């Protein structure tokens, strides 16, 4: 992606593109015609399985007001108790409202990327993403996405892989 192309993208997508480029990632962000604010919308737009969407869920750790990012497979639901046990510091996690998400990540809900946050969050990667060779994540805007492998997500975020989702029977 050249400089002129980069400047025509929304600011959040530009941040993601720079991080990907600096990391030598082979895939630049793509802008979709339709908004992909949900994992299902993104999967439909890309013609892939719902589970291949790496959705970024932000929680608020109540003990220190830290942002906690859980990057989970689009076809799974996060188990807050499992996340609390790993990163809760003995305290509770709460839902993060739109204002908190924007302030901590620099992104609006529906376009939160797993990378290039304005304030680095505490991050966990859902092990369920490793069922797939190729996944897609939001690129800082509801129309922006980028392709990667689960291993790339580990490398780009430095985050641990964990069991963070509800059991299918739950």
8 A C-beta contact, residue 37 and residue 145: no
Q: What is the pLDDT of residue 3?
A: 47
**pLDDT in tens for each of the 170 residues of the chain?**
444 455 688 999 999 999 999 999 999 999 999 888 899 999 999 999 999 999 999 999 999 999 999 999 999 999 999 999 999 887 899 989 999 999 999 999 999 999 999 999 999 999 999 999 999 999 999 999 999 999 999 999 999 999 999 987 65
* DSSP letter, residue 74: T
Residue from 78, 12, 170 nearest 68 by CA: 78
Indicate the pTM of the whole model: 0.92
Query: How many Å apart are CA 129 and CA 95, to the nearest integer?
Result: 23
Query: How many Å apart are CA 54 and CA 27, to the nearest integer?
Result: 15
Q: What is the pLDDT of residue 6?
A: 54
Return the bridge partners of 93, or none. Answer: 61
Q: What is the pLDDT of residue 5?
A: 54
Give domain 3-162's CATH number out of 2.60.40.1260, 3.40.50.2300, 3.40.50.300, 3.90.960.10: 3.90.960.10
- Output the CA–CA distances (angstroms, integers) from residue 96 to 33, 59, 100, 101, 110, in the order listed: 28, 5, 6, 6, 13
8 A C-beta contact, residue 155 and residue 131: no
Dihedrals φ, ψ of 152, to 5°? Answer: -65, -40
DSSP secondary structure string, 39-72? HHHHHHHHTS-GGGEEEEEEEEETTTTEEEEEEE
Q: What is the pLDDT of residue 89?
A: 82
Residue reference for tokens 């709460």: 94
Return the bridge partners of 135, or none. Answer: 148
Per-residue pLDDT tens digits for 122-162: 999 999 999 999 999 999 999 999 999 999 999 999 999 99
Residue from 72, 132, 67 nearest 106 by CA: 67
Q: What is the pLDDT of residue 7?
A: 60
């Amino acid at each position: 992606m050249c400089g002129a192309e980069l400047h025509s993208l929304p600011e959040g997508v530009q941040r993601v593109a720079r991080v990907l480029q600096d990391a030598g990632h082979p895939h630049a962000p793509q802008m979709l015609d339709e908004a992909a604010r949900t994992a299902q919308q993104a999967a439909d737009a890309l013609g892939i399985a719902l589970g291949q969407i790496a959705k970024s869920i932000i929680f608020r750790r109540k003990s220190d007001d830290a942002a906690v990012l859980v990057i989970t497979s689009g076809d799974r639901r996060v188990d807050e108790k499992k996340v609390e046990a790993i990163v809760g510091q003995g305290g509770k996690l709460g839902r993060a409202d739109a204002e908190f998400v924007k302030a901590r990540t620099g992104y609006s809900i529906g376009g939160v990327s797993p990378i290039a946050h304005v304030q680095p969050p505490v991050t966990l990667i859902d092990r369920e993403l490793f069922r797939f060779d190729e996944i897609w994540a939001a690129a800082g805007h509801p129309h922006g996405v980028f392709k990667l492998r689960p291993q790339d997500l580990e490398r780009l975020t430095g985050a641990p892989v964990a069991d963070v989702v509800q059991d299918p029977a739950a």
